[in-house]
Structure 1
Amino acid sequence: MGYERTEEMLTAYEGYLREEEHKQTTIEKYMRDIRFFTSWLGGRPVEKAVVLEWKEYLQTKGLAPATINAKLSALNGLFQFAGMKECSVKFLRIQRQMFREPSRELTQDEYKRLLGRARREGKERLALLIETICATGIRVSEVAYITVEAARKGRAEIDLKGKIRVILIPEKLCKKLIKYAEMERITCGEIFLTQNGKGLSRQQIWREMKELCKKTGVEPSKVFPHNLRHLFATLFYRVCKDIVQLADVLGHSSINTTRIYLMTTGTEHARHLEMLKLVM
């Protein structure tokens, strides 16, 4: 397949993903993974044997199985779209993890240290953003739905990929958000904005959080937006003990996804075993 034909197909596939209302970040990742594959291909014809070779190549790079499967998913989607389903390959089988790595487990104490440091440095936007993600359980891609109007109502309506869910905002947080908006002279729309009045990108949020963790003694591997969502899920479940309700709050269509958020570290599991007092 020639270069021009390949580019034509990729452009068409990207348009198809937009029509299917995939998130922009998802589309960008799919296209990045596919272009990586076409670059590796080096002009060879696309055949299943070559795609299997690509799969093996990814494994030699030491990538996590989930990362490899994500890249294969992007490629399989293209094959399905292009009428080349015979080139699709199976995903790597991944055994469900029982425990979460301690190096990625953000504790409530560490969360408070991050907040305290941000406020001592006068980084109120960052502190309030961290607090908002953790207190509501929203995804970083949903920060744009935290608006002045939502803060006044005490709830935000999130509309992504054709699914709408309502997020309740704690009263105390609403007051903080409104006060911050007034201080920044934001009268309507998104609350978390750059100096140019644009919404914060996930890259900027990620970067600011990483810079903050260096000054708090919290391991960088624990400090990223999605981990705040994990902490919310853990603490919410401890209070309500209802995984179905938690799944609704997080916007999960499958409880199996929610279970991942409730994985504990091996250390905590060992403590639970000790509490059974079954070894005499």
Structure 2
Amino acid sequence: MTHSMPRRIQTFLEAQAAELDAATNTQLAYARDLQGFSAWLAEKGLNFETTERSHIEGYLIDCEAEGLAKSTRARRLSAIKQIFRFAFEEGWRDDNPAIQIKGPGRAQRLPKTLDIAEVDRLLKAAHTTPKQALRNGCLMELLYATGMRVTELVSLPVSAARGDPRMLLVRGKGGKERLVPLSPPARDALAAYLTSRDAKEEAARARGVPPSKFLFPSHGKLGHLTRHRFFGLIKEFAAAGGVSPAKVTPHTLRHAFATHLLAGGADLRSIQTLLGHADVATTEIYTHVLDERLKALVLDHHPLAKSAKT
């Protein structure tokens, strides 16, 4: 019996959410990519059950002809591979037409990072904002001290921060947990913010408002500060601190954390653990970032390099 592709996609996404604890943004990306593939199949008079390897390869060729970036095509193929693997495991199909298809690969782009002076200016700007200075300072200190992903940061439970912890338990991608150490400035900022936060919570409780389970509560639907709001905040800190907002995002602080650790002598395996990377190959890109920075340092400051330019 032939089932509609939309229903197949929905079942697959529900399984991803239940079994793998896939993040909401990951599910949305899979949904968009698979809906696009489904529409392409429908235009060709094909369906999920009749799709062959040549059809998937034809779709990827069309994606390239549209001028889609390598990274976008690689992500779309990844989604297609996963749903067909799921279909095979569930018995929807007797084969997996996507299993041997090679992806276009990803163009390696070095992550943008910040030097220590720029990070210092960002931290100072966060600590001196006209409103919510204690919260903002805490957010930035924690982000730079731990290298957390922004979603991990804004959704931290307040229970993780109790008792002046030396380390935070972070729940990352796929529900995997890891411990990240806190620097003294981060611990100080956390303690100061918690005192202020708890006083506000107590006042709210007196008005009949239930307490929040999140470290950074919000009145929004999620119950905590959103990643989009924090994105806007960090741009404000950049502007106030004299750092180009174009080069600053929450992820830039994660990159700075890793790059500065590596420059300070930390080994890749330790950085991999702190960042929550499943594969050390993902962490290795920071060695290239450091190489580029050292190369630029020599070209800009070595006297022989200067004389060669003139």
Which residue pairs with 1:106 in the alignment?
114
1:65 and 2:70 aligned: yes
8 Å Cα contact 2:113/2:253 also seen in 1:
no
8 Å Cα contact 2:271/2:283 also seen in 1:
yes
Q: 1:205 to 1:71 in 2, by over 3 A?
A: farther
TM-score by length of 2: 0.75
Cα separation, 2, equivalents of 1:145 and 1:87: 38
More divergent stretch after superposition (17-26 vs 132-141): 17-26
Deviations 1:194-230 (A, max 9, x none): 2458112222222332354455553444221111111
Cα separation, 1, equivalents of 2:115 and 2:65: 34
TM-score by length of 1: 0.82
The structural deviation recorded for 1:275 is 6.2
8 Å Cα contact 1:139/1:229 also seen in 2:
yes
1:24 and 2:20 aligned: no
Cα separation, 1, equivalents of 2:194 and 2:168: 16
Q: 1:248 to 1:10 in 2, by over 3 A?
A: same
1:156 and 2:165 aligned: no
Deviations 1:164-204 (A, max 9, x none): 32111223322211221221225874221224581122222
Which residue pairs with 2:56 in the alignment?
51
Letter in 2 for 1:122: K
**In percent, how many aligned pairs have the same letter?**
25
Letter in 1 for 2:156: Y
Gaps of at least 5 residues in structure 2 are 89-94, 203-211
Q: Which has the larger radius of gyration?
A: 2
Any idea what SS the aligned residue of 1:167 has? strand
More divergent stretch after superposition (105-114 vs 129-138): 105-114
CA RMSD of aligned residues (A): 3.3
Any idea what SS the aligned residue of 2:131 has? coil
8 Å Cα contact 1:149/1:189 also seen in 2:
no
Which residue pairs with 2:264 in the alignment?
239
The structural deviation recorded for 1:252 is 2.4
Gaps of at least 5 residues in structure 1 are none
Any idea what SS the aligned residue of 2:4 has? helix
Which residue pairs with 1:135 in the alignment?
145
Q: 1:54 to 1:110 in 2, by over 3 A?
A: farther
Alignment of 1:1-20 (within 5 A): 5-18=4-17, 19-20=19-20
1:90 and 2:90 aligned: no
Q: 1:157 to 1:241 in 2, by over 3 A?
A: closer
1:225 and 2:250 aligned: yes
